[in-house]
Every structure is written in C-alpha cells, then in structure tokens.
Amino acid sequence: AQSVTQLGSHVSVSEGALVLLRCNYSSSVPPYLFWYVQYPNQGLQLLLKYTSAATLVKGINGFEAEFKKSETSFHLTKPSAHMSDAAEYFCAVSKPTLYSNYQLIWGAGTKLIIKP
Amino acid sequence: NAGVTQTPKFQVLKTGQSMTLQCAQDMNHEYMSWYRQDPGMGLRLIHYSVGAGITDQGEVPNGYNVSRSTTEDFPLRLLSAAPSQTSVYFCASSYSTASSYEQYFGPGTRLTVT
C-alpha cells in the first residue's frame, strides 16, 4: 500500500532563510510525486511534480524538490523564504485504481510559518 | 475559464438533514473527485469519476452519494448529515485519468453539522 509521511505539522523559518519541508513515501511501484500548496481559505494548487524524468524538479515561486529513490524522499526546498510563502503544503503520491492509474494519496500537510 | 466552481461556500445543517454540494468545471476535464479535509489528516478521497456515467468510491465514501450525468458537473449528496461530516469539502478535476496529470481544485465548501 502506498503512503506519504510529512515530518512536522508546523515549520517556522525566518524571512530570507532556507525552507525545507520533508516528505517520505512508500510505494510498491515507481511513483509519481506531487507538492501542492494551500493558501488560507483557498483550494490547493500544484507547486511541482515528479513523473520519472529529472530527479530535481523545479516548481513555481522558486520552490524545488529532489526525488531520492534510495531514501524514498521528495523533500521541498526554497533557498530564501518570503512572507508570501506562508501557507500549508501537501505532499502526495499517485496510486493505481480500478478504472485508471490515478488516485492520489495525501500527506497530512505542513503549515509553513514565516517570521519577519 | 472559471475553472472549478463550488457552491455553497458555507453551509450549516442539522443532524439528519440532507443536501447537495455542487461542483462544476468548464475545462472539459475527464476526471473529477471529491475530497474532505480535516485538521491533521490531509485530504481524503470520498468519490471520484473518470467520465460521465462512471463513478467509484474512494477512501471514505460512507454517507455520501455521487453521480455524473455530464462532463461538467459532479454533485456530492449527503444523505443524512451527521456531526462527523463537519469538514471542508473540495472538488477537483483533471484533464486525464493518467496519474501524471495535476488536479485543479475548487475553493471549497465549509460544512458544519450540528
């Protein structure tokens, strides 16, 4: 069975500091991996995704993530945090289903807090 | 494009009442789904559809019904509301059922059951 673990329900960093949000997955088949962001009182939007091409994936707003098969990780990073990055971030892995091979398994989310 | 729209934004129900959460998308997406979001639990899939007339259950389907008569609309019905269904509900759609495609989310419906 596939699963996703996000370490830390809350992460606090200073403005300008490195952002590191951790995601580990388990999957019996080669996974597709996603990071989504949710700003307060909004729906989720895609930050970036890994679909078995380059292991270092660049997304929107200066975020990137590296797929490490040996560590079963897909951590999200940004070199310098901005106040506008304050949001909740979700990691997800795809899972095969009856009709298609598309069902996302979600992590519990990590709330990123930016200190001025 | 309006994208994925959901109505209502907020709803309060009494235990035992029924209601329908509306979801529509104007992107001609094949795949649509309903999630509920509860604190500390991420998103949990309720039901999904891979095309008009085809639906399937997700992780937490009990107490909910869906149908998909058109490509655009995917309503979620609560049959007899319970306090455990207090949550934020998100509808999402995707161009393809292939697992590499991103999902587009609506703004959510915040439901309280008293």
* pLDDT digit string, tens, across residues A29-77: 778 899 999 998 888 999 999 987 788 999 999 999 999 989 999 999 9
Residue B58 pLDDT greater than 80, yes or no: yes
Which of A49, A100, A107 has the CB atom closest to B102's CB atom?
A49
* pLDDT digit string, tens, across residues B5-39: 999 999 999 999 999 999 999 999 999 999 999 98
Report the alpha-carbon distance of residue B70 to residue A16 in Å, rounded: 48
Band (pLDDT 50/70/90 cuts) for residue B42 is confident
Measured CA to CA in angstroms, residue A5 lies from A18, A74, B99, B102 at distances of 21, 10, 20, 20
Measured CA to CA in angstroms, residue B102 lies from A14, A44, A115, B94 at distances of 30, 11, 31, 6
Q: In the prediction, which pLDDT does A81 show?
A: 97
* pLDDT digit string, tens, across residues B80-109: 999 999 999 999 999 876 666 789 999 999
Answer yes or no: are the C-beta atoms of A14 and A113 closer than 8 Å.
no
A82: its two tokens: 């901005």
* pLDDT digit string, tens, across residues B60-70: 999 999 999 99
**What does DSSP say about strands A10-14 and A110-115: parallel, antiparallel, or unpaired?**
parallel
| Chain B residues within 8 A of A104 when measuring between CB atoms | 43, 45, 103
| Chain B residues within 8 A of A25 when measuring between CB atoms | none
Rounded to an integer, what is the distance from CA A62 to the centroid of its chain? 13
Any CB–CB contact under 8 A between B101 and chain A?
A: yes
Q: In the prediction, which pLDDT does A99 show?
A: 63
Residue A101 pLDDT greater than 60, yes or no: no
Distance from CA of A21 to the nearest CA of B (A): 15
Cβ–Cβ gap A102/B43 under 8 Å: no
Any CB–CB contact under 8 A between B97 and chain A?
A: yes
Residue B51 pLDDT greater than 80, yes or no: yes
Residue B20: CB atoms within 10 Å: 12
Any CB–CB contact under 8 A between B4 and chain A?
A: yes
| Chain B residues within 8 A of A102 when measuring between CB atoms | 31, 94, 96-99, 101
* pLDDT digit string, tens, across residues A51-60: 877 889 999 9
Report the alpha-carbon distance of residue B44 to residue B40 in Å, rounded: 11
Any CB–CB contact under 8 A between B100 and chain A?
A: yes
Of all residues in chain B, the one with the smallest CA distance to A4 is B42
